[in-house]
Amino acid sequence: MLSFLLHELKPQLGFFLFLDELFQKEFGKTILECSEDEIKTVFDKISYQDNISDELSEAASFFATYRHFVVTGWFTSEVGMKDLGYKGNIP
């Protein structure tokens, strides 16, 4: 079971390891040690794929995929649909 989970989570673990290296490179500390402004600076860099450096392109792609999953999960949940005011197929 553990080997299956590690195999399935390998891309996610790689992304988090990359983020850790990025924070170390940018600020000389881990993400947990960074201020909100420092964290926002890094995520602003990878939030959009327009004009992104080759070094950050894979991280930006991974982040875009996760953002899509989160938004889809939210707006297809009961609370997300209420947030939208969606009432379903009603006349």
Instruction: Return the H-helix or E-strand segment holding 30.
Output: none
Read off the pTM: 0.66
pLDDT at 2 over 60: no
Model pLDDT for residues 7-24, shown as the tens digit of each residue? 666 777 778 888 888 899
pLDDT at position 28: 96
Q: Rounded to an integer, what distance in angstroms lies between the CA atom of residue 39 and that of residue 85?
A: 33
* Chain CA centroid to CA 14, Å: 12
DSSP string, 3-56: HHHHHHHHHHHHHHHHHHHHHHHHHSS-GGGS-HHHHHHHHHHHS--TT--HHH
How many other C-beta atoms are found inside a 10 Å radius of the C-beta of residue 18? 16
Residue 43 in tokens: 């995520």
